[in-house]
Structure 1
Amino acid sequence: MSKLTSQPAWQDLSQLAATLKDQHMRDWFAADPARAERMQADAAGIFLDYSKNRVTDEVMTALMALARAQGLEAHRDAMFGGDAINNTENRAVLHTALRNFSGQPVPVGGEDVMPEVMATLDKIEAFTASVHSGEHTGYTGKRITDVVAIGIGGSFLGPKIMTEALKPYTHDAVKVHFVANVDGCHIHDVLQTLDHEQTLVVMSSKSFSTQETLQNTLSAKAWFLNAGGSQQDIARHFVAVSSNISAATEFGIAEENIFPMWDWVGGRYSLWSAIGLPISLALGFTHFKRLLEGAHEMDNHFKTAPLENNVPVIMAMLGVWYRNFFEAQSHVLLPYYHYLRGLPAYVQQLDMESNGKQVTQNGDPVDYPTGPIIWGSEGTNGQHSFHQLIHQGSGVIPADFMLPLTVPNQDDTHHAMLASNCFGQTQALMQGKTFEECYADLERQGLDEAERVRLAHHKTMPGNKPSNTLLFEQLDPFTLGALVALYEHKVFVQGVVWQLNSFDQWGVELGKVLGNQVLDGITGKRDSSEFDRSTEQLIARFRQSNAQR
């Protein structure tokens, strides 16, 4: 038995789960008129209703006891304090410093990182202004009208999804296009529509050697040169976010157009850094800064609010409850707002790359489930497809519903329908529909006894399906920043409880290494017989098909 599963609070939760599995939320709401008012919290403009969860006050008390027993508060303070909590890479974890507007220093290794953070923000602001004003032109003197942002993983998902979510705030000076996939179709389709004289390429790679990002950037460079630009002109059209200054300058990028990255910021937490330059170019620096300010407000809430009223902690511990005591294998995110449709993919990387681990920080195998599968899409679309599994499937799939109360260019009919679907789904998941209710409906339709019984079994929905509802006045930059920071802290809390290092990703690193080795096999730089027989066969088939091209 591990340290976690031997905790008294864990044992209490095991007993409570066994007791509550046969109880129904419908009955709890009927017996307790104040349940909804009691099970709510808010932070940084985000309201959380967690009353439609299979928890009682006793369960919530035990969950918070477990968080405290696992040292959550001390781990939280260590992260904000700049301690090297990423113990496999001996690094601090300080994405929160990138949005620290408190004026307080943040030390790493005895040195305050805030002057460099603020200087980088000033550099982003100045560069954004120069592009938007037309001061920074292409080599022929034409204004920059299009930006191609090239990255992968967090260097792509964060900027792309934040920019999509904030489309109503887009600046009209430039159009930003995002490229990540190493599939040549993607970069080709983007570049063929652009004028090289008016295009700026932002390459984001800490090492300046990430396979997919470097190849796409080389393709963009070839396109630029073939269209009439020169090696010298690259300095006007390519900028980099990287810590490898020598590689970037050798490529042709002017040193003053290289933005820094730090090893204390992981890729999936990097949108707040210069990786967010495409966000600033797309929205304007003022909106980019508001994004950071919203995250900072959520940081302050996470640092100071009691656990019982702490939104990230509540959501995290509810996730632990279902993952470890109800065998929930996945968690679904359902944004009821078209522009927020990319958020599930963002949180998918954030959560699964962080807590998809099978050993503790000490390297001991876990004897309990850790990170769940994260998935989801736009809520209304999902209602006509995968919601069926959530309603009537045999497993437990906790759900996060989210809705802005107002939207830009609001059509009251559309938005009322959107809200009614969101609230109606949470109600249906909670209360379900009993066999008796279905039977009565069928009886009113005049069906005979046998047919009523037969169909009632198919129409019965058990209910008791858990969900959170997150509401916010509108999805502006500040609120989006707070929302993303909320999920960051939720993931952190669960990592602490599960005793994981949520800030390394050795599985991802292995994939990168093996991908490069296989590429050498495909290009003939490595003997394909060095691979397993299956991989050797796949390489041979690929080479044969491309031999005559």
Structure 2
Amino acid sequence: MSIPHGEAWQRIATETVPTLTELFAADPERVSRLSGRIQLDQGSVLFDWSKTHLTEGLIAGFEQLAESAGFDEMRRRLFAGEVVNPTEGRAAEHSALRGVGNVASVEEASALRERMRLLVQAIHEGALGEVKHLIHIGIGGSALGPALAVDALTHDLALVDVHVVSNIDGVALERAFAACDPATTLIAVASKTFTTIETMTNAQSALRWLEENGVQDPYGRVIALTAYPEKAVEWGVDETRVLPFAESVGGRYSLWSSIGFPIALAIGWNDFEAFLDGAATVDRHFHSANGAANLPLRAAFADQYYTRLRQAQTRAVFAYDERLGLFSDYLQQLEMESNGKSVTAEGDPVDAPTSPITWGGVGTDAQHAVFQLLHQGTNLVPVDFIASIAPGDDLDPAHHRILLMNCFAQGAALMAGRQSPDPARSYPGDRPSATILCDDIDPATLGALIAFHEHRTFANAVLMGINPFDQFGVELGKDIAKKIEKGGESFDPSTENLLQMAGLG
């Protein structure tokens, strides 16, 4: 029988939680109980949550909370393609893009994916002439996902050199121009609505760049990625070069759709399908595993404990792998735009903190920049470490050995601490971390990592009773920017002064 939501939280809040060192001393099986592995077609990913403060009592309480929050029903709706975004009356069908979900949606996604495959294949075979470069223009979810995947999976091996441009600052676009030959460059314009002002302004400048550099048919060099194909055709893109995706796919969940076109162009179709398959493996696990055996849900249990009961305002993610240098950037949007809410799905004020601030970096660089605060600062910051057993380089193995030793040492040091008679040299310890250890960073593994965090974000939202699929918080600033452009309105004295100083008043 389900227990009331508040009662579940009360049970969790009254649980006595020993230190991490005490938890390990009391349970020789703790590592195996709080670690789980997802097996991919080749390789696997280990999720070790044993260095968090999850106890058997906390886990039992959170499983009761998941029951009272209707987790099973919300998960069913997600995969069934039913409405899970009540404020906009929409489904959230990113898993269908990977082949897991509502049958009709999976079939539609498969047909759209085949359309993209044919275009990618045609480009690789020279149907659009010699193509060496792609400038991918988008913003937010239309840029962060492709940028992460291309950076992680290509290095110097890209079939097509991809430059992702999101910032309206012209410097970003000029840097892409400087790296590309207009005669061998395609432009991808990624916008769900095909009206996003930053994207469309950048796209117009890219067309002018092509034209000014002798390209006879600039629009013929454009690929449109959108949920509104008719708008792309009106704008001037040939229908054969428009790659649609479903309107039910949110921007920050869209890299599995035609928004992933630059990924497929850069790494090749077979690797792009492996990327989707890795994500689908996690989808199937999340769909079928129950309670704490469900790895994204287990991660959400720890997230909720630290955010709501230990008042941790941030969560840090450090990838000890240069290939994942953009991973924390990607997670910032996924987690903070999804769960940075102050009302429940019913519109009532929330009664506790929701999303922590996600931040991070790359090891070992971060050790010499921010780890001072993690070890000796006054803020409690749960840390996720991500590492790969296989190196991404062909240099002396000492490089990778030192990298991994540092990664594992940081987690051990955060937990154990070290006492010293000199307070400045004393480490309190008992600071939590989780470790995600991959066999390698390949397309399937990256797909699995991203899907894991998508489902972790969803699970957190369900436990908090909020809607992770709308993002109205980004609209107000846009509205005011439009009013400034239109003119005729006044603002606060500070803003008015800034407008005058910048010549915008």
Q: Per-residue CA shift, 1:175-229, capped at 9, x if unaligned? A: 1111110001111121134222211000001221101100100000111111223
Q: Does the alignment pair 1:124 with 2:116?
A: yes
Q: In the alignment, which residue of structure 2 is the partner of 1:539?
A: 499
Shift of 1:114: 2.8
> How far apart, in 2, do the equivalents of 1:149 and 1:428 lie?
42
> How far apart, in 1, do the equivalents of 2:393 and 2:180 lie?
30
> Do the aligned partners of 2:278 and 2:445 also contact (CA within 8 Å) in 1?
yes
Shift of 1:307: 1.6
Q: In the alignment, which residue of structure 1 is the partner of 2:31?
A: 36
Shift of 1:429: 0.4
Q: In the alignment, which residue of structure 2 is the partner of 1:160?
A: 147
> Do the aligned partners of 1:199 and 1:237 also contact (CA within 8 Å) in 2?
yes
Q: Secondary structure at the match of 1:86?
A: coil
> How far apart, in 2, do the equivalents of 1:425 and 1:4 lie?
39
Q: Does the alignment pair 1:203 with 2:189?
A: yes
> Do the aligned partners of 1:291 and 1:481 also contact (CA within 8 Å) in 2?
yes
Q: In the alignment, which residue of structure 1 is the partner of 2:214?
A: 228
128 and 327 in structure 1: CA distance in 2 versus 1, 3 angstrom threshold: same
Identity %: 37
Q: How does 1:511-530 map to 2 (within 5 A)?
A: 511-520=477-486, 526-527=487-488, 529-530=489-490
1:32 partner amino acid? D
Residue-pair matches, total: 499
Q: Which moved more, 1:156-165 or 1:409-418?
A: 409-418
> How far apart, in 2, do the equivalents of 1:319 and 1:544 lie?
44
1:28 partner amino acid? L
Q: Per-residue CA shift, 1:17-40, capped at 9, x if unaligned? A: xx33xx322233233322222221
Q: In the alignment, which residue of structure 1 is the partner of 2:169?
A: 183
> How far apart, in 2, do the equivalents of 1:236 and 1:94 lie?
31
Q: Which moved more, 1:312-321 or 1:237-246?
A: 237-246
1:381 corresponds to which of 351, 359, 365:
365
> How far apart, in 1, do the equivalents of 2:224 and 2:10 lie?
52
48 and 115 in structure 1: CA distance in 2 versus 1, 3 angstrom threshold: closer
Show structure 1 runs of 5+ residues with no match: 107-111, 138-142, 440-455, 521-525
Q: How does 1:349-368 map to 2 (within 5 A)?
A: 349-368=333-352
Q: How does 1:44-63 map to 2 (within 5 A)?
A: 44=39, 45-63=44-62
Q: How does 1:319-468 map to 2 (within 5 A)?
A: 319-410=303-394, 411-434=396-419, 438-439=420-421, 456-468=422-434
Q: Per-residue CA shift, 1:443-475, capped at 9, x if unaligned? A: xxxxxxxxxxxxx21111110000111111111
Q: Secondary structure at the match of 2:435?
A: strand
Q: In the alignment, which residue of structure 2 is the partner of 1:149?
A: 136
Q: Secondary structure at the match of 1:225?
A: helix
> Do the aligned partners of 1:4 and 1:498 also contact (CA within 8 Å) in 2?
no
189 and 159 in structure 1: CA distance in 2 versus 1, 3 angstrom threshold: same
Q: Per-residue CA shift, 1:362-402, capped at 9, x if unaligned? A: 11001111000000000211111111111111121101111
Q: Which moved more, 1:387-396 or 1:406-415?
A: 406-415
Show structure 2 runs of 5+ residues with no match: none
470 and 151 in structure 1: CA distance in 2 versus 1, 3 angstrom threshold: same
Q: Does the alignment pair 1:481 with 2:447?
A: yes
1:62 partner amino acid? G
479 and 544 in structure 1: CA distance in 2 versus 1, 3 angstrom threshold: closer
Q: Does the alignment pair 1:313 with 2:273?
A: no
Q: Per-residue CA shift, 1:474-502, capped at 9, x if unaligned? A: 11100110110000000000100111110
Q: Does the alignment pair 1:303 with 2:277?
A: no
> How far apart, in 1, do the equivalents of 2:501 and 2:345 lie?
42
113 and 458 in structure 1: CA distance in 2 versus 1, 3 angstrom threshold: same
Q: Per-residue CA shift, 1:125-175, capped at 9, x if unaligned? A: 1111111121222xxxxx111100000000000000111111258433x21
Shift of 1:420: 0.7
> How far apart, in 1, do the equivalents of 2:179 and 2:32 lie?
53
Q: Per-residue CA shift, 1:230-267, capped at 9, x if unaligned? A: 4xx13431110123334322332111101113221100
1:530 partner amino acid? S
> How far apart, in 2, do the equivalents of 1:169 and 1:314 lie?
37
Q: Which moved more, 1:31-40 or 1:193-202?
A: 31-40
Shift of 1:6: 5.2
RMSD after superposition: 1.8
> Do the aligned partners of 2:85 and 2:470 also contact (CA within 8 Å) in 1?
yes
Shift of 1:5: 8.7
Q: Secondary structure at the match of 1:188?
A: helix
Shift of 1:113: 2.5
2:152 partner amino acid? A
4 and 517 in structure 1: CA distance in 2 versus 1, 3 angstrom threshold: farther
> How far apart, in 1, do the equivalents of 2:193 and 2:149 lie?
24
> How far apart, in 1, do the equivalents of 2:443 and 2:460 lie?
26
> Do the aligned partners of 2:35 and 2:49 also contact (CA within 8 Å) in 1?
yes
> How far apart, in 2, do the equivalents of 1:169 and 1:90 lie?
43
1:191 partner amino acid? F
> How far apart, in 1, do the equivalents of 2:93 and 2:165 lie?
27
TM-score (structure 2 length as normaliser): 0.95
> How far apart, in 2, do the equivalents of 1:6 and 1:501 lie?
17
Larger radius of gyration: 1
> How far apart, in 1, do the equivalents of 2:69 and 2:36 lie?
23
246 and 264 in structure 1: CA distance in 2 versus 1, 3 angstrom threshold: closer
Shift of 1:424: 0.5
Q: Per-residue CA shift, 1:280-320, capped at 9, x if unaligned? A: 01111111111111110000000111222111011111000
264 and 6 in structure 1: CA distance in 2 versus 1, 3 angstrom threshold: closer
